[in-house]
Amino acid sequence: MTLWGWILLACVIAFTTKLLGWLVPAERLQRPWLLQAAGTLTVGLLASLTILNAVADGQLLRPDARLVALAAAALALVLRAPFIVVVVAGAAAAALARLAGMP
């Protein structure tokens, strides 16, 4: 198969994967225990995404300026900053850390 073929196949698989989840009937999902489980699942996924974006690089663990961003964001959140300030603090901290020579 040509590269174009693989690209389109991968795109079809990606979209079908997403769509499958949406095809589970919504009424079946309106159950208190399921919504509670979804709440816990969300905490788990967000924690996983946070740490993944902070230290992972493919299959490597690579501690770098992103950890400074994580700390800066946590500090901003402790100080009850609004979401956008938290994001900007994270970007600024990472940029400054790299400017200071951090990987």
Partner 1 sequence: MLTSNGHVLDDRPHRLGDLVAVPDAERGDRDALWARLREHGYLFLPGFLDPDDVLAFRAHYFTALAGVGLLDPARAPVEGVDGGGTVDLAAMRHALFTEVVPGPAYAEFCRQPAIRDWFGWLYDAETFLHRRKIVRHLRPGERGIGTATQAHYDLVYLREGTDRLLSLWVPLGDTPLEVGPLTYLEGSHHVYAREEAEGRARPAASMTPDLPSLAEQHDTRWLVAGLRAGTSSCTRPTSSTPRWTTWTPDAGCGCPPTSATSAPVTRSTGAGSSTGTTPTGSEAAAPTVGRPHYPAAVPLSPVLRTSPAVRAGLTLAAATGIYGVSFGALATAAGLSVLQTQALSFLMFTGGSQFAFIGVLAGGGGGAAATAAASLLGVRNALYAVQLNALLAPRGWARRLASAQVTIDESTAIATAQGDREEQRRGFWAAGLGIFVLWNLFTVVGSLLGSAIGDPRVWGLDGAAVAAFLGLLWPRLKGRDPVAVAVVCAVVTVVAVPWLPPGIPILAAAAVAVLLHLLLRTRDARGGRR
Site for partner 1 in 24-53 (CB under 8 A): 24, 26-27, 29-53
Is there binding between residue 63 and partner 1 (CB under 8 A)? Answer: no
Site string for partner 1, 1-20 (x = CB under 8 A): xxxxxxxxxxx-xxx-xxxx
Please give the full DSSP string across the chain, using - where no structure is assigned.
--HHHHHHHHHHHHHHHHHHHHHS-HHHH--HHHHHHHHHHHHHHHHHHHHHHHHEETTEE--SHHHHHHHHHHHHHHTT--HHHHHHHHHHHHHHHHHTT--
We find the least distance from the C-beta atom of residue 62 to partner 1, in angstroms, to be 10
Which residues, numbered 67-86, are part of the site for partner 1 (CB under 8 A)?
68-70, 72-74, 76-77, 79-84, 86
